[in-house]
Amino acid sequence: MGKIIVVGGGAAGMLAAYSAASYGAEVLLLEKMNGVGKKIRITGKGRCNITNNADIKGCIANIPGNGAFLHSAFYQFFNEDIIRLLEEFGVETKVERGGRVFPVSDQAIDVVNALQRMVIAMGGRIQTDTKVKSLVVEAGAVKGVRLDSGDILDADAVIVTTGGASYPGTGSSGDGYRMAKDVGHTIVPLTPSLVPLEIEEDWIQDLQGLSLRNVSVVAYADDTKIDSDFGEMLFTHFGVSGPIVLSMSRKIALCLEEKQDVVLSLDLKPALSEEQLDRRVQRDFEKYLRKQVKNALNDLLPQKLIPVVIDLAYLDEEKPIHQVTKEERLRLVHTIKHIEMTVTKTRPMAEAIVTAGGVSTKEVNPKTMASRIVNGLYFAGEVLDIDGYTGGFNLQAAFSTGYSAGKAAAESLL
């Protein structure tokens, strides 16, 4: 039986090593960091959102970046498979809001340890602190890898699972893109996906740390609506983040690249129409008739937001409620439903949860993850031009492509 080298010890790499070894191949997994699964350890705020319990169609719908490419990989290995496998190796799971699957322990390290045990249980070897510099290719076929030290390790097949270019501190610093390009693969330009956004308006800084729930945001590029979402968002010292911002950031990043003007419109009370909200504000005003404007909105808005909203509505915060005109009140209502924020740029690639772009899927067989350019070469995980929303979809894509690549590589050597 032949020898397979897996380059990169993340989610895709460990599944590829497990899968190849379980099909009888001799497997060596090389990881440049001092331990495997560095990025897995920080996913889901250190809890690890393993996968999502959506069906295949639902998962693909949540992977805007080439989701259709994953059909075959998902049919081979999907969410119930990774859940069953992790449970076999001691990690019980639970399902939370939005179908997100987490370990019962809420500890990402438990998932990393289980994946490591899987590889070793199948006879695979893991070697850390070993950086691969390039692929060794002769006459259109991969022959092994060249290490940073200059040593060459021979292999009958190589699976590249080096991750994206986000969170370089975890080891995913774009090495795989360079290796793939050097042997003739096209790299689709990289943009940050699932990334916080920087906002121009100064008042953003006054809201730093404020988290909002059940709000909706619409994104406009050159006055055309490009996306919208409902849920949670967070104000930071530079702008906005949180689930609904991250989910829209991919489209926004592409529009910014095309030099379009991007504006976010925040609705603080999406469950109410302007008429309903006006009636609600009138009730609050009657209740606080003797107070000033700044002290009459506590039932409606978070404390931190009140001065900002009053300012944006061009109201005098010291004005007594009984002196507020109908026109001023309607302006306040409109502001609560339409807070506009100008997006200047995305945060840097290093802060993105996921990288959009990568090895072109047109040059990779979707059933086997095999390169269409170099024999014996395979790709899996985020090094491919695949990216999804938050909710466990990106990790599932990594697990599925890793499993498919490992299985196909082993079967090709039988």
Tens of pLDDT, residue by residue over 268-279, are 999 999 999 999
Compute how many other C-beta atoms are within 10 angstroms of the C-beta atom of residue 289: 11
Q: In angstroms, rounded to a whole number, what is the distance separating the alpha carbons of residues 391 and 101? A: 8
Q: For residue 367, which phi and psi values (nearest 5 degrees)?
A: -80, -35
Domain ranges for the chain: 3-192+354-413, 196-346
Query: Tokens 């109908």 map to which residue?
Result: 326
Q: In angstroms, rounded to a whole number, what is the distance separating the alpha carbons of residues 12 and 382? A: 8
- The answer, yes or no, to whether residue 145 has pLDDT greater than 70, is yes
Q: For residue 34, which phi and psi values (nearest 5 degrees)?
A: -85, 5
- The answer, yes or no, to whether residue 48 has pLDDT greater than 70, is yes
**Global pTM value:** 0.87
Would you state the pLDDT for residue 295?
94
Superfamily of chain region 3-192+354-413 = FAD/NAD(P)-binding domain (3.50.50.60)
Which distant-in-sequence residues (6+ apart) come within 8 Å of 311 by Cβ? 203, 317
Radius of gyration of the chain (CA): 25
- The answer, yes or no, to whether residue 23 has pLDDT greater than 90, is yes
pLDDT tens sequence across 158-185:
999 998 877 677 677 789 999 999 999 9
As a whole number, mean pLDDT of residues 183-204 equals 94
The listed CATH number (3.10.20.30, 2.102.10.10, 1.10.8.50, 3.40.50.720) that belongs to domain 196-346 = 1.10.8.50
Q: Residue 216 in contact with residue 229, Cβ under 8 Å? A: yes
Q: What is the mean pLDDT of the chain?
A: 95
Would you state the pLDDT for residue 99?
96
Q: In angstroms, rounded to a whole number, what is the distance separating the alpha carbons of residues 364 and 346? A: 30
Same fold, 3-192+354-413 and 196-346: no
Would you state the pLDDT for residue 118?
98
Would you state the pLDDT for residue 279?
97
- The answer, yes or no, to whether residue 350 has pLDDT greater than 90, is no
- The answer, yes or no, to whether residue 104 has pLDDT greater than 90, is yes
Would you state the pLDDT for residue 237?
94
Per-residue pLDDT band at 349 (split at 50, 70, 90): confident
Would you state the pLDDT for residue 167?
66
Would you state the pLDDT for residue 174?
83
Q: In angstroms, rounded to a whole number, what is the distance separating the alpha carbons of residues 300 and 206? A: 19
Would you state the pLDDT for residue 190?
87
Would you state the pLDDT for residue 353?
83
